[in-house]
Structure formats: C-alpha cells, structure tokens
Structure 1
Amino acid sequence: MKFISVNTASEFICFLVAFIFLLKDKSTTWKMLIAFLLLTCITEVTGIYMREFLQIRNYPVYNVYLLFECGFTSYFFYHLYRPYNYPIKWLYVWYGIFMLIFLSEMLHNNFKGFTSATASIMSVIFVLASLYFYYLKLRDEKFEPLLYSASFWWVNGALFFYFGSTACNIFMDYLAEYESITYNNSIRYIIYNVLDVIMYACWSYAFICRYRQRKLSFS
C-alpha cells in the first residue's frame, strides 16, 4: 500500500504514543504535541495521495506545513527555555525573520517549488537551539537524571533529525549523483527515513518519561 512506509508508520506510532501518554498532561504545550503530530500524519498522507494518485506536485502542502513546523517547534523550544528566564521577544524576532525568508523564497520561486533554502536555515537554527538547551542544562544547578528527562529526550530527537537534515542539504548535489530512478529507493529518502525513526523514537520515549514524571508527582 502506498500510504504505509517507514516514515508514515513511525509518525503514526509516535502520534499514538503522544495521545496515550500526553492526553491528560497538565501542560498545554506538551499536549499540543498531539495536535502537531496529527497534523504531521495528515500532511504526509496528503502528500503521498497527491504524488501517487493525483500525479501532481505536492510541494504546496509541505510549504504550508513548514510554517506550522517552524512555529510549533520554535514555541516548544521557548517553552523549554522559560525556566531559565528566556525572553519571549527572541521567539517573535526569529519567527519574523523566518517569515521574511519564507516569503522571499516563495516570490523567488514564483510560488512553484518547495522552500528548500528556508527549510535548511530552519534546520540550522534548530540545531543551534538544541545545543543551547544542552548549555542551559549544564549550567542548571538543579539535578535531573537525564535518562528520565522528557525535555532532554525531545531535544535529542530534534537534534538528530535537524542535524541530519542540515547535512543532507549541504551534500544534496553529491547525493543526487547517486540517486536511483525510483523515488522510494533514493539515498535521500532512505536517510530521511532513518532520521525520522530516530527522532520519533526519542520523542516517544520523551512522552513516556513525561507520563512517568506526572505519575511520580502524584505519588
């Protein structure tokens, strides 16, 4: 079946784990992950349907999704920074810059292609955001076992995915030389599948850790 792949399966499993373990979470931000992952699944299925069944380009769907991906991921990083008195103005500044880059690339492409440069810049920023979170954790005097830290594992997943995405974008031309004719067997497709599995595995474990923390706080 066209809709079942490593990518879609890992996304759907992660969504189910989020639904099970975050539905009753007290934090609205963490519960928003359920909606975000559902949107991710819908976007992926829609993209496959447009490419495989309608035989039309699906870049408009992913361009729109990129806006939500950047917005939510940026906000979630801000949520993780809040205990360290991180000012919200930098969230607005970053998203404003992102929108300018996004609209500029859309105009440059005459609205006829995926905003790959914008996605690359976003990936670099999220890699830096992940490293900054590690820096804050190192400076934090409050002890927290990282093995059971939900925020730590969520950031781990994001770092793996966005660092891998950045590396793929840098070596895009090199990888293209070895692309096979079939899309599903291309090197980039395989790499992104591996990155998806790593990220969603880390995120699923983060949701379980979050659930565990909530249960321990009640006991």
Structure 2
Amino acid sequence: MSPYITVNTTAEFICFVVSLLCLYKDKDPVWRLLILFLLVTSMVEVGGIYMRRVLQQPNFMLYNVFLVIECLVESYFFYHLYKTYYNRFKLFGSWAIIFLFVYFAELITNKYAGFVFITFTVVSVVLVLASVYYYYLVLREDQFRSLSVYAPFWWVSGTLCFYFAGTASNIFFSYLAKDRAPIINHSVRYVVFNILNIVLYLNWSYSFICRYRQRTSSSLSD
C-alpha cells in the first residue's frame, strides 16, 4: 500500500471532495474558502509524509507553517459565524496578534528546532472556547433552528471534538507517544488523532452537505 494512503490523508481528501462538490457554487466566499483550506491541508499531509519517509527529513517546520494557516482560517470562520449575532472584528484582530506573538516567541525559544506544541495547545483551547461560546449564542437566540441540518452547528461540533480531545492528548503527550497500541504497532497518540481526524472530517463533510441542501432548497423556492 502507498505510504501516502493513510487514515488522515483519506479523511482529508474525502472531506475536500465533499467541500468541492457542495460549496463551489456557494454565494458566501467564507464557506468557499474552506475548499482551498482543505486542499492545502491535504497537500501538507502528503508533503509531511514525503519529507519523513522519502527525504528522511523532519517535517515539523512544515506543520509549524501550516498551523498559522489553520489558526487564522478557522478563527476567521468563527468570526464569520459570530457576525450573525454581532460584529467584533477587533476581537478577531486581537486574537490574531496574540497568536502570532506566542507563535514566534515559541519558535525563537525552540531555536526553530521543533514543533510549537505550546502554541498549538493555546490555539486548541481558544477554538474550544469559541465553539462553546457559539453554542451559547445559538441556544439563546429566539429564532428556531433545526440543528440536525444546520450547517454551522455541525462544523463547530467537529471543531470542538477535535480540539478538545486534542488538547487533552497534548497534555499527556509524553505518555501517549511512548505507549504502544496493540496489534497496529503505533503510539496511542497516533491512534487518538486518527480517530479525532475522522470525527472532525465527518462532521465537516456533513456540514457541507447541509449547506448545499440549504442553498438548493432556497433556490428552488425562489
């Protein structure tokens, strides 16, 4: 089997295809931005495998760079969701500045010699809080929403599951990285993040399908 076909690359590629099919005609450019983001995500994952297995080189800097894209895109998407309730661009801008400060401070402290785990943990905590706050905004609004087919709800649900459990995994990183899962001969952390990736991209894919159905049903009613 090709080393490029893994649980992560398969889940990411399927989610990218679903986003392309469901969102490429979406009128909202922020939703369409997710197509490009998932394409970049898939390319980074394949590039990371190529660097590690073919070039026999560490790939942490590739993921360090990608973390900037990941944080800014997902944070901006949350800002876009919040705009339904109020516009707080200054909050998004302040968080972006704080993130970049923490990111470059850790890079310099590590002398560019490792992955920025502290920054990733900070990003994960902020995105978890952003997800919970979005739930709060949805629950307190007067408008009725069928959450089973509400696209933003499922996107946020996948994000919350991934980053909440990912934060816990990072806290116990040393233990999980050393302990081996039976049969598959991989670390427990590797298995955990594979499961989290599946959960994330299943939720995102379903949110894209819900978004597509919403768009097509509204166009038919016009």
Q: Calculate the TM-score normalised by the size of structure 2.
A: 0.95
Per-residue CA deviation, residues 34-93 of structure 1 (Å, 9 max, x unaligned), is 000000000000000000000000011001000000000000000000011131000000
Which residue in 1 is equivalent to 2:164? 163
C-alpha RMSD of matched pairs (Å): 1.4
Change (3 A) 1:187 1:158: same
Question: 1:199 deviation in Å?
Answer: 0.5
Identity %: 49
Change (3 A) 1:184 1:71: farther
Partners of 2:44 and 2:194 in 1: how far apart? Answer: 16
Which residue in 2 is equivalent to 1:103? 104
| Alignment of 1:143 onto 2:144 | yes
Which residue in 1 is equivalent to 2:186? 185
Partners of 2:134 and 2:107 in 1: how far apart? Answer: 31
Which residue in 2 is equivalent to 1:45? 46
Question: 1:129 deviation in Å?
Answer: 0.3
Partners of 2:177 and 2:57 in 1: how far apart? Answer: 22
Q: SS at the partner of 1:105? A: helix
Question: 1:141 deviation in Å?
Answer: 0.6
Partners of 1:39 and 1:94 in 2: how far apart? Answer: 23
Which residue in 1 is equivalent to 2:23? 22
Partners of 2:98 and 2:153 in 1: how far apart? Answer: 27
**Any residues of structure 2 matched to 1:1-219 within 5 Å, and which?**
1-179=2-180, 185-219=186-220
- Kindly provide the amino acid, as one letter, of the partner of residue 208 in structure 2: F
Contact 2:169 2:189 in 1 (8 A): yes
More divergent stretch after superposition (171-180 vs 3-12): 171-180
Per-residue CA deviation, residues 111-135 of structure 1 (Å, 9 max, x unaligned), is 1111111001100000000000000
Change (3 A) 1:184 1:13: farther
Partners of 1:173 and 1:60 in 2: how far apart? Answer: 20
Contact 2:178 2:187 in 1 (8 A): no
Number of equivalences: 218
Partners of 2:70 and 2:185 in 1: how far apart? Answer: 24
Q: SS at the partner of 1:79? A: helix
Q: SS at the partner of 2:115? A: coil
- Kindly provide the amino acid, as one letter, of the partner of residue 151 in structure 1: P
- Kindly provide the amino acid, as one letter, of the partner of residue 190 in structure 2: Y
Partners of 1:44 and 1:102 in 2: how far apart? Answer: 21
Question: 1:184 deviation in Å?
Answer: 6.7
Q: Which runs of 5+ in 2 are unaligned?
A: none
Q: SS at the partner of 1:84? A: coil
- Kindly provide the amino acid, as one letter, of the partner of residue 140 in structure 1: E
Partners of 2:179 and 2:24 in 1: how far apart? Answer: 44
Deviant stretches of 4+, over 2 Å: none
